[in-house]
Structure 1
Amino acid sequence: MSIKIITDSTSDLPLDLAESLGVTIVPANVIFGQEQFKDRIEMSPAQFYQRLVDSPVHPTTSAPSIGQFVEAYESVAPDADGIVSVHVSAKLSATYNAAVQASEQVSLDCPIEVIDSEQATFGLGLPVIAAATSAAEGADFDTVVKVARSANERSRCIALFDTLEYLQRGGRIGKAQAMVGSILRIKPMIIVQDGEVQPLGKARTYAKGLAQIQQVARDFGPAENLCVMYSTDEDAARQLADSISDLLPEGQDPIVAPLGPGVGAHVGPGAVGIVSLTASTGE
Protein backbone atom coordinates (compact mmCIF):
# COMPACT_ATOMS: atom_id res chain seq x y z
CA MET A 1 0.00 0.00 0.00
CA SER A 2 1.18 3.53 -0.72
CA ILE A 3 0.11 7.06 -1.50
CA LYS A 4 -1.12 7.44 -5.07
CA ILE A 5 -0.62 10.62 -7.07
CA ILE A 6 -3.09 11.81 -9.69
CA THR A 7 -2.80 14.84 -11.93
CA ASP A 8 -4.20 16.05 -15.24
CA SER A 9 -2.54 16.26 -18.65
CA THR A 10 -1.94 20.00 -18.44
CA SER A 11 0.93 19.07 -16.11
CA ASP A 12 2.68 18.19 -19.39
CA LEU A 13 4.40 15.20 -17.82
CA PRO A 14 5.53 12.89 -20.63
CA LEU A 15 3.65 9.60 -20.33
CA ASP A 16 6.82 7.54 -19.81
CA LEU A 17 7.97 9.82 -17.00
CA ALA A 18 4.55 9.65 -15.33
CA GLU A 19 4.57 5.88 -15.58
CA SER A 20 8.02 5.63 -14.01
CA LEU A 21 6.84 7.81 -11.12
CA GLY A 22 3.58 5.90 -10.68
CA VAL A 23 1.52 9.01 -11.49
CA THR A 24 -1.95 8.63 -12.99
CA ILE A 25 -2.80 11.30 -15.58
CA VAL A 26 -6.40 12.23 -16.33
CA PRO A 27 -6.45 13.67 -19.87
CA ALA A 28 -8.02 16.94 -20.93
CA ASN A 29 -9.80 17.08 -24.28
CA VAL A 30 -8.57 18.85 -27.39
CA ILE A 31 -11.18 19.74 -29.98
CA PHE A 32 -10.74 20.59 -33.66
CA GLY A 33 -14.18 21.43 -35.01
CA GLN A 34 -16.27 18.26 -34.60
CA GLU A 35 -13.28 16.05 -33.69
CA GLN A 36 -12.29 15.47 -30.09
CA PHE A 37 -9.04 13.92 -28.86
CA LYS A 38 -7.74 12.95 -25.43
CA ASP A 39 -4.64 15.01 -24.67
CA ARG A 40 -1.44 13.01 -25.35
CA ILE A 41 -3.37 9.72 -25.56
CA GLU A 42 -5.16 10.19 -28.87
CA MET A 43 -3.03 13.09 -30.09
CA SER A 44 0.68 13.56 -29.43
CA PRO A 45 2.36 16.98 -29.18
CA ALA A 46 4.00 16.50 -32.58
CA GLN A 47 0.68 15.58 -34.22
CA PHE A 48 -1.03 18.51 -32.53
CA TYR A 49 1.41 21.23 -33.64
CA GLN A 50 1.42 19.94 -37.20
CA ARG A 51 -2.37 20.16 -37.27
CA LEU A 52 -2.33 23.54 -35.51
CA VAL A 53 -0.21 24.97 -38.33
CA ASP A 54 -2.07 23.24 -41.16
CA SER A 55 -5.70 23.44 -40.01
CA PRO A 56 -7.93 26.48 -40.63
CA VAL A 57 -9.86 25.46 -37.50
CA HIS A 58 -8.60 26.87 -34.22
CA PRO A 59 -8.53 24.17 -31.52
CA THR A 60 -10.32 24.47 -28.20
CA THR A 61 -9.94 22.48 -25.01
CA SER A 62 -12.21 21.14 -22.31
CA ALA A 63 -11.54 19.83 -18.83
CA PRO A 64 -11.77 16.15 -17.94
CA SER A 65 -15.23 15.12 -16.76
CA ILE A 66 -16.21 14.33 -13.20
CA GLY A 67 -16.69 10.75 -14.38
CA GLN A 68 -13.09 10.53 -15.56
CA PHE A 69 -11.89 11.51 -12.10
CA VAL A 70 -14.28 9.07 -10.41
CA GLU A 71 -12.84 6.32 -12.59
CA ALA A 72 -9.26 7.38 -11.81
CA TYR A 73 -9.85 7.49 -8.05
CA GLU A 74 -11.62 4.14 -8.02
CA SER A 75 -8.89 2.51 -10.14
CA VAL A 76 -6.03 3.38 -7.75
CA ALA A 77 -7.91 3.14 -4.44
CA PRO A 78 -7.58 -0.64 -3.86
CA ASP A 79 -3.78 -0.29 -3.51
CA ALA A 80 -3.78 3.13 -1.82
CA ASP A 81 -3.43 4.39 1.72
CA GLY A 82 -4.37 7.80 0.36
CA ILE A 83 -4.75 9.73 -2.89
CA VAL A 84 -3.18 13.13 -3.55
CA SER A 85 -4.73 14.77 -6.63
CA VAL A 86 -2.89 17.88 -7.85
CA HIS A 87 -4.28 19.99 -10.68
CA VAL A 88 -4.04 23.01 -12.95
CA SER A 89 -5.12 26.36 -11.52
CA ALA A 90 -8.86 26.65 -10.94
CA LYS A 91 -8.66 30.13 -12.50
CA LEU A 92 -7.50 28.61 -15.79
CA SER A 93 -9.61 25.46 -16.03
CA ALA A 94 -12.65 23.63 -14.62
CA THR A 95 -10.40 20.62 -13.97
CA TYR A 96 -9.90 21.27 -10.25
CA ASN A 97 -13.62 21.65 -9.63
CA ALA A 98 -14.32 18.41 -11.50
CA ALA A 99 -11.75 16.62 -9.34
CA VAL A 100 -13.27 18.04 -6.14
CA GLN A 101 -16.77 16.95 -7.15
CA ALA A 102 -15.50 13.47 -8.03
CA SER A 103 -13.75 13.16 -4.67
CA GLU A 104 -17.06 13.98 -2.95
CA GLN A 105 -18.97 11.39 -4.99
CA VAL A 106 -16.75 8.36 -4.52
CA SER A 107 -16.90 6.11 -1.48
CA LEU A 108 -13.41 4.81 -0.80
CA ASP A 109 -11.51 3.33 2.12
CA CYS A 110 -8.74 5.92 1.81
CA PRO A 111 -8.62 9.74 2.02
CA ILE A 112 -8.38 12.00 -1.04
CA GLU A 113 -6.75 15.43 -0.99
CA VAL A 114 -7.48 17.56 -4.06
CA ILE A 115 -5.02 20.43 -4.47
CA ASP A 116 -5.25 23.53 -6.68
CA SER A 117 -1.65 24.09 -7.77
CA GLU A 118 -2.46 27.64 -8.95
CA GLN A 119 -0.10 26.76 -11.80
CA ALA A 120 -0.06 25.24 -15.27
CA THR A 121 2.15 23.06 -17.46
CA PHE A 122 5.34 22.08 -15.61
CA GLY A 123 4.53 24.70 -12.97
CA LEU A 124 2.13 21.93 -11.98
CA GLY A 125 4.33 19.09 -13.22
CA LEU A 126 7.32 19.74 -10.97
CA PRO A 127 5.21 19.72 -7.76
CA VAL A 128 3.62 16.48 -8.99
CA ILE A 129 7.11 14.99 -9.44
CA ALA A 130 8.04 16.13 -5.92
CA ALA A 131 4.90 14.55 -4.45
CA ALA A 132 5.40 11.31 -6.39
CA THR A 133 9.04 11.11 -5.31
CA SER A 134 8.00 11.58 -1.69
CA ALA A 135 5.36 8.85 -2.04
CA ALA A 136 7.86 6.48 -3.64
CA GLU A 137 10.18 7.02 -0.69
CA GLY A 138 7.44 5.76 1.62
CA ALA A 139 6.12 9.04 3.03
CA ASP A 140 2.69 8.96 4.66
CA PHE A 141 -0.39 10.76 3.38
CA ASP A 142 0.03 13.96 5.41
CA THR A 143 3.69 14.25 4.44
CA VAL A 144 3.00 13.84 0.72
CA VAL A 145 0.26 16.49 0.93
CA LYS A 146 2.70 18.81 2.69
CA VAL A 147 5.38 18.17 0.05
CA ALA A 148 2.93 18.92 -2.76
CA ARG A 149 1.73 22.15 -1.17
CA SER A 150 5.27 23.30 -0.40
CA ALA A 151 6.34 22.63 -3.99
CA ASN A 152 3.32 24.54 -5.32
CA GLU A 153 4.38 27.57 -3.30
CA ARG A 154 7.91 27.38 -4.72
CA SER A 155 6.98 26.74 -8.35
CA ARG A 156 7.72 29.59 -10.77
CA CYS A 157 6.50 29.40 -14.36
CA ILE A 158 7.54 31.93 -17.00
CA ALA A 159 7.27 31.83 -20.78
CA LEU A 160 8.16 33.64 -23.98
CA PHE A 161 5.50 33.60 -26.72
CA ASP A 162 5.76 34.32 -30.40
CA THR A 163 2.25 35.77 -30.16
CA LEU A 164 -0.55 36.17 -27.60
CA GLU A 165 -3.14 35.30 -30.26
CA TYR A 166 -3.70 31.74 -29.03
CA LEU A 167 -3.88 32.71 -25.36
CA GLN A 168 -6.43 35.39 -26.19
CA ARG A 169 -8.53 33.09 -28.38
CA GLY A 170 -8.62 30.45 -25.67
CA GLY A 171 -9.80 32.88 -23.01
CA ARG A 172 -6.83 32.22 -20.70
CA ILE A 173 -5.04 35.51 -21.19
CA GLY A 174 -5.86 36.99 -17.75
CA LYS A 175 -3.98 40.17 -16.87
CA ALA A 176 -1.68 39.69 -19.86
CA GLN A 177 -4.58 41.21 -21.86
CA ALA A 178 -2.91 44.55 -21.12
CA MET A 179 -0.15 43.67 -23.59
CA VAL A 180 -2.54 42.96 -26.47
CA GLY A 181 -2.86 45.79 -28.96
CA SER A 182 0.40 47.39 -27.93
CA ILE A 183 2.49 44.64 -29.47
CA LEU A 184 3.87 45.13 -32.97
CA ARG A 185 6.61 42.63 -33.68
CA ILE A 186 7.17 42.37 -29.96
CA LYS A 187 7.66 39.04 -28.21
CA PRO A 188 5.51 38.90 -25.06
CA MET A 189 6.65 37.25 -21.83
CA ILE A 190 4.27 36.01 -19.15
CA ILE A 191 4.37 34.57 -15.65
CA VAL A 192 1.77 32.34 -13.99
CA GLN A 193 1.13 34.02 -10.66
CA ASP A 194 -1.75 33.85 -8.19
CA GLY A 195 -3.30 31.20 -10.40
CA GLU A 196 -3.52 33.24 -13.59
CA VAL A 197 -1.48 34.49 -16.53
CA GLN A 198 0.15 37.85 -15.87
CA PRO A 199 2.45 40.04 -17.98
CA LEU A 200 6.17 39.69 -17.32
CA GLY A 201 7.59 41.91 -20.05
CA LYS A 202 8.21 42.39 -23.76
CA ALA A 203 11.23 41.82 -25.96
CA ARG A 204 11.94 43.22 -29.41
CA THR A 205 13.40 39.94 -30.67
CA TYR A 206 13.04 36.28 -29.82
CA ALA A 207 16.73 36.07 -28.89
CA LYS A 208 16.40 38.98 -26.47
CA GLY A 209 13.31 37.36 -25.00
CA LEU A 210 15.21 34.13 -24.36
CA ALA A 211 17.97 36.09 -22.64
CA GLN A 212 15.42 37.88 -20.47
CA ILE A 213 13.58 34.77 -19.28
CA GLN A 214 16.95 33.14 -18.60
CA GLN A 215 17.81 36.10 -16.36
CA VAL A 216 14.45 35.92 -14.58
CA ALA A 217 15.09 32.23 -13.88
CA ARG A 218 18.45 33.17 -12.41
CA ASP A 219 16.79 35.81 -10.27
CA PHE A 220 14.60 33.07 -8.76
CA GLY A 221 17.79 31.62 -7.30
CA PRO A 222 19.00 28.03 -6.82
CA ALA A 223 16.53 25.36 -7.92
CA GLU A 224 15.52 21.98 -6.59
CA ASN A 225 14.28 21.08 -10.07
CA LEU A 226 14.01 22.82 -13.43
CA CYS A 227 12.13 22.28 -16.66
CA VAL A 228 12.33 24.00 -20.01
CA MET A 229 9.19 23.53 -22.10
CA TYR A 230 8.68 24.25 -25.77
CA SER A 231 5.93 24.07 -28.35
CA THR A 232 7.85 23.70 -31.61
CA ASP A 233 11.51 24.73 -31.13
CA GLU A 234 13.25 21.91 -29.26
CA ASP A 235 16.74 23.17 -30.16
CA ALA A 236 16.10 26.56 -28.52
CA ALA A 237 14.73 24.79 -25.45
CA ARG A 238 17.78 22.56 -25.10
CA GLN A 239 20.15 25.51 -25.48
CA LEU A 240 18.17 27.39 -22.84
CA ALA A 241 18.28 24.37 -20.53
CA ASP A 242 22.07 24.16 -20.90
CA SER A 243 22.39 27.85 -20.04
CA ILE A 244 20.60 27.50 -16.67
CA SER A 245 21.68 24.01 -15.62
CA ASP A 246 24.09 25.47 -13.06
CA LEU A 247 21.07 26.54 -10.98
CA LEU A 248 20.52 22.86 -10.11
CA PRO A 249 22.47 20.68 -7.70
CA GLU A 250 25.63 19.26 -9.25
CA GLY A 251 24.97 16.29 -11.48
CA GLN A 252 21.31 17.14 -12.09
CA ASP A 253 20.05 18.36 -15.48
CA PRO A 254 16.91 20.31 -16.36
CA ILE A 255 13.99 18.42 -17.83
CA VAL A 256 13.29 19.40 -21.43
CA ALA A 257 9.74 18.57 -22.53
CA PRO A 258 7.17 19.56 -25.16
CA LEU A 259 4.05 21.46 -24.21
CA GLY A 260 1.18 19.07 -24.82
CA PRO A 261 -1.97 19.72 -26.86
CA GLY A 262 -4.02 20.81 -23.83
CA VAL A 263 -1.60 23.67 -23.17
CA GLY A 264 -0.40 24.12 -26.75
CA ALA A 265 -3.86 25.19 -27.91
CA HIS A 266 -3.40 28.30 -25.77
CA VAL A 267 0.27 29.11 -26.45
CA GLY A 268 0.73 28.34 -30.15
CA PRO A 269 3.94 27.69 -32.10
CA GLY A 270 7.21 29.27 -31.06
CA ALA A 271 6.58 29.29 -27.31
CA VAL A 272 9.26 28.36 -24.81
CA GLY A 273 9.09 28.45 -21.04
CA ILE A 274 11.01 27.79 -17.86
CA VAL A 275 9.70 26.37 -14.62
CA SER A 276 11.88 26.63 -11.55
CA LEU A 277 11.05 24.72 -8.40
CA THR A 278 13.08 26.96 -6.14
CA ALA A 279 15.20 25.32 -3.49
CA SER A 280 13.52 24.87 -0.13
CA THR A 281 14.77 27.02 2.71
CA GLY A 282 14.09 24.16 5.11
CA GLU A 283 11.51 26.12 7.04
Structure 2
Amino acid sequence: MTQRIAWITDSTAYIPEELRKAADIHIVPLDVIFDDVAYQDGVDLSSEKLYEKIEHSKTVPKTSQPAIGKFIELYEQLAEAYDCAIAVHLSSKLSGTYQTSKAAAAQCEFPVEVVDSQIVSYPITTLLGKGLALAEQGMDYRDIAETLRREASKNENYIVIGKLSQLHKGGRLSNAQLILGTLLQIRPIFCIKNGAVELFEKVRTENKAYRRIMEQLDRARSMHRVSQVEILHGNVIEKALALKEQIKSKHQDVEVLVYPLSPVLGVHGGQGTIALTWTNEPQS
Protein backbone atom coordinates (compact mmCIF):
# COMPACT_ATOMS: atom_id res chain seq x y z
CA MET A 1 0.00 0.00 0.00
CA THR A 2 1.35 3.45 -0.96
CA GLN A 3 2.23 5.65 1.99
CA ARG A 4 0.57 9.04 2.20
CA ILE A 5 3.61 11.22 2.93
CA ALA A 6 3.43 14.86 3.98
CA TRP A 7 6.44 17.03 3.15
CA ILE A 8 7.51 19.87 5.44
CA THR A 9 10.15 22.53 5.02
CA ASP A 10 10.80 26.07 6.23
CA SER A 11 10.61 29.44 4.51
CA THR A 12 14.32 29.61 3.68
CA ALA A 13 13.62 27.05 0.94
CA TYR A 14 12.42 28.48 -2.36
CA ILE A 15 9.42 26.42 -3.45
CA PRO A 16 8.18 27.29 -6.96
CA GLU A 17 4.43 27.73 -7.28
CA GLU A 18 4.04 24.71 -9.54
CA LEU A 19 5.69 22.47 -6.93
CA ARG A 20 3.51 23.87 -4.16
CA LYS A 21 0.42 22.93 -6.17
CA ALA A 22 1.67 19.54 -7.30
CA ALA A 23 2.92 18.14 -4.01
CA ASP A 24 1.84 17.90 -0.40
CA ILE A 25 4.42 20.43 0.77
CA HIS A 26 3.84 22.48 3.93
CA ILE A 27 6.05 25.49 4.68
CA VAL A 28 6.70 26.74 8.21
CA PRO A 29 7.85 30.39 8.13
CA LEU A 30 10.71 31.80 10.16
CA ASP A 31 10.34 35.33 11.53
CA VAL A 32 12.09 38.55 10.62
CA ILE A 33 12.09 40.93 13.60
CA PHE A 34 12.33 44.58 12.61
CA ASP A 35 12.07 47.32 15.24
CA ASP A 36 10.46 44.85 17.69
CA VAL A 37 7.83 43.82 15.13
CA ALA A 38 7.85 40.19 13.96
CA TYR A 39 7.07 39.47 10.31
CA GLN A 40 6.53 35.97 8.95
CA ASP A 41 9.14 35.27 6.29
CA GLY A 42 7.56 35.46 2.85
CA VAL A 43 4.08 35.95 4.32
CA ASP A 44 4.05 39.38 5.96
CA LEU A 45 7.27 40.69 4.45
CA SER A 46 8.55 40.49 0.86
CA SER A 47 12.22 40.60 -0.06
CA GLU A 48 11.78 43.95 -1.82
CA LYS A 49 10.16 45.57 1.23
CA LEU A 50 12.86 44.14 3.49
CA TYR A 51 15.66 45.74 1.49
CA GLU A 52 13.88 49.08 1.49
CA LYS A 53 13.59 48.98 5.27
CA ILE A 54 17.23 47.91 5.73
CA GLU A 55 18.44 50.69 3.43
CA HIS A 56 16.87 53.34 5.63
CA SER A 57 17.77 51.81 8.98
CA LYS A 58 20.94 52.05 11.08
CA THR A 59 20.54 48.49 12.30
CA VAL A 60 19.92 45.15 10.63
CA PRO A 61 16.79 43.21 11.63
CA LYS A 62 17.05 39.91 13.46
CA THR A 63 15.69 36.53 12.48
CA SER A 64 14.01 33.93 14.64
CA GLN A 65 13.21 30.25 14.22
CA PRO A 66 9.57 29.10 14.42
CA ALA A 67 8.17 28.35 17.87
CA ILE A 68 7.86 24.66 18.71
CA GLY A 69 4.10 25.11 19.01
CA LYS A 70 3.84 25.83 15.27
CA PHE A 71 5.40 22.49 14.45
CA ILE A 72 3.34 20.56 17.00
CA GLU A 73 0.12 22.10 15.66
CA LEU A 74 1.11 21.28 12.07
CA TYR A 75 2.10 17.70 12.83
CA GLU A 76 -1.14 17.08 14.70
CA GLN A 77 -3.12 18.40 11.74
CA LEU A 78 -1.15 16.32 9.25
CA ALA A 79 -1.76 13.16 11.28
CA GLU A 80 -5.42 13.35 10.25
CA ALA A 81 -4.66 13.13 6.52
CA TYR A 82 -1.27 11.40 6.17
CA ASP A 83 0.47 8.21 7.29
CA CYS A 84 3.83 9.87 7.93
CA ALA A 85 5.95 12.92 7.10
CA ILE A 86 9.42 13.98 6.02
CA ALA A 87 10.66 17.41 7.14
CA VAL A 88 13.67 18.90 5.34
CA HIS A 89 15.08 22.03 7.00
CA LEU A 90 17.90 24.53 6.63
CA SER A 91 21.25 23.63 8.14
CA SER A 92 21.16 22.93 11.87
CA LYS A 93 24.42 24.91 12.17
CA LEU A 94 22.71 28.04 10.87
CA SER A 95 19.41 27.88 12.76
CA GLY A 96 17.65 25.99 15.54
CA THR A 97 14.72 25.26 13.20
CA TYR A 98 15.83 21.67 12.57
CA GLN A 99 16.14 20.92 16.31
CA THR A 100 12.79 22.56 17.05
CA SER A 101 11.08 20.52 14.35
CA LYS A 102 12.69 17.35 15.69
CA ALA A 103 11.63 18.15 19.26
CA ALA A 104 8.07 18.76 18.10
CA ALA A 105 8.02 15.45 16.22
CA ALA A 106 9.12 13.66 19.39
CA GLN A 107 6.08 15.06 21.21
CA CYS A 108 3.60 13.82 18.60
CA GLU A 109 2.45 10.30 17.85
CA PHE A 110 2.59 11.11 14.16
CA PRO A 111 5.76 9.57 12.58
CA VAL A 112 8.05 12.30 11.23
CA GLU A 113 11.56 11.89 9.80
CA VAL A 114 13.49 15.18 10.16
CA VAL A 115 16.35 15.80 7.71
CA ASP A 116 19.16 18.33 8.12
CA SER A 117 19.76 19.66 4.59
CA GLN A 118 23.13 21.19 5.63
CA ILE A 119 22.25 24.10 3.32
CA VAL A 120 19.63 26.81 2.63
CA SER A 121 17.38 28.04 -0.18
CA TYR A 122 16.88 26.14 -3.46
CA PRO A 123 19.16 23.18 -2.64
CA ILE A 124 16.52 22.24 -0.05
CA THR A 125 14.01 22.19 -2.89
CA THR A 126 16.33 19.88 -4.83
CA LEU A 127 16.32 17.44 -1.93
CA LEU A 128 12.53 17.60 -1.70
CA GLY A 129 12.30 16.85 -5.42
CA LYS A 130 14.51 13.80 -5.01
CA GLY A 131 12.41 12.65 -2.09
CA LEU A 132 9.18 13.01 -4.05
CA ALA A 133 10.65 10.96 -6.89
CA LEU A 134 11.65 8.18 -4.48
CA ALA A 135 8.17 8.22 -2.94
CA GLU A 136 6.70 7.75 -6.43
CA GLN A 137 8.83 4.62 -6.72
CA GLY A 138 7.25 3.28 -3.52
CA MET A 139 10.27 3.65 -1.20
CA ASP A 140 9.52 3.68 2.53
CA TYR A 141 9.59 7.16 4.10
CA ARG A 142 12.38 6.19 6.52
CA ASP A 143 14.58 5.01 3.66
CA ILE A 144 13.80 8.18 1.72
CA ALA A 145 14.90 10.32 4.67
CA GLU A 146 18.15 8.36 5.00
CA THR A 147 18.83 8.77 1.28
CA LEU A 148 18.27 12.53 1.49
CA ARG A 149 20.72 12.79 4.38
CA ARG A 150 23.38 11.24 2.16
CA GLU A 151 22.40 13.38 -0.82
CA ALA A 152 22.82 16.59 1.21
CA SER A 153 26.62 16.30 1.07
CA LYS A 154 26.65 16.59 -2.74
CA ASN A 155 25.83 20.30 -2.81
CA GLU A 156 28.46 22.90 -3.74
CA ASN A 157 27.83 26.61 -3.40
CA TYR A 158 29.47 30.04 -3.49
CA ILE A 159 28.05 33.31 -2.16
CA VAL A 160 29.21 36.78 -3.19
CA ILE A 161 28.06 39.33 -0.61
CA GLY A 162 26.45 42.39 -2.18
CA LYS A 163 27.10 45.11 0.37
CA LEU A 164 29.80 45.17 3.02
CA SER A 165 27.75 47.85 4.81
CA GLN A 166 25.18 45.23 5.77
CA LEU A 167 27.86 42.98 7.29
CA HIS A 168 29.01 46.06 9.21
CA LYS A 169 25.49 46.86 10.45
CA GLY A 170 25.08 43.29 11.59
CA GLY A 171 28.31 43.44 13.60
CA ARG A 172 30.30 41.10 11.32
CA LEU A 173 32.71 43.83 10.15
CA SER A 174 34.51 46.52 12.17
CA ASN A 175 34.61 50.15 11.05
CA ALA A 176 38.19 49.72 9.86
CA GLN A 177 37.35 46.58 7.91
CA LEU A 178 34.39 48.32 6.29
CA ILE A 179 36.45 51.35 5.23
CA LEU A 180 39.36 49.25 3.95
CA GLY A 181 37.09 46.80 2.19
CA THR A 182 35.13 49.59 0.50
CA LEU A 183 38.27 51.45 -0.61
CA LEU A 184 39.82 48.31 -2.05
CA GLN A 185 36.53 47.07 -3.50
CA ILE A 186 36.92 43.80 -1.59
CA ARG A 187 34.31 41.16 -2.36
CA PRO A 188 34.34 38.25 0.08
CA ILE A 189 33.18 34.90 -1.30
CA PHE A 190 31.58 32.57 1.22
CA CYS A 191 30.45 28.97 0.96
CA ILE A 192 28.46 26.59 3.13
CA LYS A 193 30.39 23.42 3.91
CA ASN A 194 29.17 20.68 6.22
CA GLY A 195 26.32 22.99 7.16
CA ALA A 196 28.44 25.94 8.30
CA VAL A 197 29.34 29.22 6.56
CA GLU A 198 33.04 29.53 5.69
CA LEU A 199 35.06 32.24 3.98
CA PHE A 200 36.19 30.78 0.65
CA GLU A 201 38.22 33.69 -0.66
CA LYS A 202 38.56 37.49 -0.78
CA VAL A 203 38.95 39.08 -4.19
CA ARG A 204 39.14 42.59 -5.58
CA THR A 205 35.99 43.74 -7.42
CA GLU A 206 32.68 42.06 -8.04
CA ASN A 207 33.59 40.93 -11.57
CA LYS A 208 36.61 39.03 -10.26
CA ALA A 209 34.37 37.35 -7.69
CA TYR A 210 32.00 36.16 -10.41
CA ARG A 211 34.93 34.90 -12.51
CA ARG A 212 36.23 33.00 -9.50
CA ILE A 213 32.97 31.18 -8.85
CA MET A 214 32.65 30.42 -12.56
CA GLU A 215 36.08 28.77 -12.31
CA GLN A 216 34.73 26.62 -9.50
CA LEU A 217 31.81 25.56 -11.65
CA ASP A 218 34.21 24.67 -14.48
CA ARG A 219 36.28 22.60 -12.04
CA ALA A 220 33.20 20.83 -10.67
CA ARG A 221 32.01 19.92 -14.17
CA SER A 222 35.39 18.42 -14.99
CA MET A 223 35.04 16.05 -12.04
CA HIS A 224 31.29 15.50 -11.65
CA ARG A 225 28.04 15.49 -13.57
CA VAL A 226 26.37 18.88 -13.03
CA SER A 227 23.11 19.12 -14.95
CA GLN A 228 21.49 22.05 -13.15
CA VAL A 229 22.75 25.26 -11.56
CA GLU A 230 20.75 27.66 -9.41
CA ILE A 231 21.43 31.38 -9.14
CA LEU A 232 19.95 32.99 -6.02
CA HIS A 233 19.92 36.76 -5.77
CA GLY A 234 19.24 39.53 -3.29
CA ASN A 235 16.97 41.82 -5.32
CA VAL A 236 19.36 42.07 -8.30
CA ILE A 237 17.60 40.11 -11.02
CA GLU A 238 19.56 41.84 -13.81
CA LYS A 239 22.90 40.65 -12.39
CA ALA A 240 21.49 37.17 -11.89
CA LEU A 241 20.26 36.98 -15.50
CA ALA A 242 23.62 38.28 -16.79
CA LEU A 243 25.40 35.52 -14.84
CA LYS A 244 22.92 33.00 -16.26
CA GLU A 245 23.87 34.07 -19.79
CA GLN A 246 27.55 33.66 -18.92
CA ILE A 247 26.96 30.13 -17.72
CA LYS A 248 24.77 29.17 -20.68
CA SER A 249 27.29 30.52 -23.19
CA LYS A 250 29.91 28.14 -21.80
CA HIS A 251 27.78 25.22 -20.61
CA GLN A 252 24.91 24.94 -23.07
CA ASP A 253 23.74 21.59 -21.67
CA VAL A 254 23.24 22.92 -18.12
CA GLU A 255 19.82 24.10 -16.97
CA VAL A 256 20.15 27.41 -15.08
CA LEU A 257 17.40 28.49 -12.69
CA VAL A 258 17.15 31.97 -11.17
CA TYR A 259 15.29 32.64 -7.92
CA PRO A 260 15.27 35.33 -5.20
CA LEU A 261 16.64 34.81 -1.71
CA SER A 262 13.97 34.73 0.99
CA PRO A 263 13.70 37.71 3.40
CA VAL A 264 15.37 35.70 6.20
CA LEU A 265 18.37 35.01 3.98
CA GLY A 266 18.30 38.58 2.74
CA VAL A 267 18.80 39.77 6.32
CA HIS A 268 22.13 37.95 6.48
CA GLY A 269 23.29 38.30 2.88
CA GLY A 270 22.00 41.72 1.98
CA GLN A 271 20.84 43.38 -1.18
CA GLY A 272 23.08 42.65 -4.15
CA THR A 273 24.12 39.22 -2.93
CA ILE A 274 24.50 36.51 -5.57
CA ALA A 275 24.80 32.81 -4.78
CA LEU A 276 25.66 30.04 -7.21
CA THR A 277 24.81 26.49 -6.20
CA TRP A 278 24.66 23.04 -7.79
CA THR A 279 24.69 19.32 -7.02
CA ASN A 280 27.72 17.18 -7.86
CA GLU A 281 26.52 13.83 -9.17
CA PRO A 282 28.80 10.92 -10.14
CA GLN A 283 29.86 10.91 -13.78
CA SER A 284 28.21 8.07 -15.67
Give TM class, smaller chain: 0.7 to 0.9
RMSD between aligned residues: 2.7
Aligned to 2:145: 145
- Residue 79 of structure 2 aligns to a residue in which SS? helix
Separation in 1, partners of 2:85, 2:7: 6
The offset of 1:247, in angstroms, is 9.0
| Native 8 Å contact 2:114 2:145 kept in 1 | no
Separation in 1, partners of 2:49, 2:17: 15
- Residue 130 of structure 2 aligns to a residue in which SS? helix
The offset of 1:245, in angstroms, is 4.5
1:190 counterpart letter in structure 2: F
Aligned to 1:205: 205
Gaps (5+ residues) in structure 2? none
The offset of 1:97, in angstroms, is 1.1
| Native 8 Å contact 2:229 2:257 kept in 1 | yes
TM-score by structure 2 length? 0.85
The offset of 1:258, in angstroms, is 0.2
- Residue 156 of structure 1 aligns to a residue in which SS? strand
Separation in 2, partners of 1:167, 1:103: 35
Equivalences for 1:53-132 in 2 at 5 Å?
A: 53-108=55-110, 111-132=111-132
Separation in 2, partners of 1:16, 1:54: 35
- Residue 139 of structure 2 aligns to a residue in which SS? coil
Q: How many residues align?
A: 274
Gaps (5+ residues) in structure 1? none
In our comparison, the structure showing a higher alpha carbon Rg is: 2
Separation in 1, partners of 2:66, 2:157: 23
2:209 counterpart letter in structure 1: G
Separation in 2, partners of 1:167, 1:128: 31
| Native 8 Å contact 2:191 2:199 kept in 1 | yes
For residues 48 and 133 of structure 1, do their structure 2 counterparts lie closer, same or farther at Cα, with a shift above 3 Å needed? Answer: farther
1:71 counterpart letter in structure 2: E
Separation in 1, partners of 2:84, 2:168: 38
Farther off after superposition, 237-246 or 150-159: 237-246
Separation in 1, partners of 2:132, 2:251: 19
Aligned to 1:48: 50
Separation in 1, partners of 2:6, 2:126: 16
TM-score by structure 1 length? 0.85
Deviations 1:223-270 (A, max 9, x none): 2432110002111112222333589895x6222100010110000111
| Native 8 Å contact 2:157 2:278 kept in 1 | yes
Separation in 1, partners of 2:197, 2:65: 18
Separation in 2, partners of 1:166, 1:15: 30
The offset of 1:203, in angstroms, is 2.2
Aligned to 2:247: 244
2:242 counterpart letter in structure 1: Q
For residues 68 and 278 of structure 1, do their structure 2 counterparts lie closer, same or farther at Cα, with a shift above 3 Å needed? Answer: same
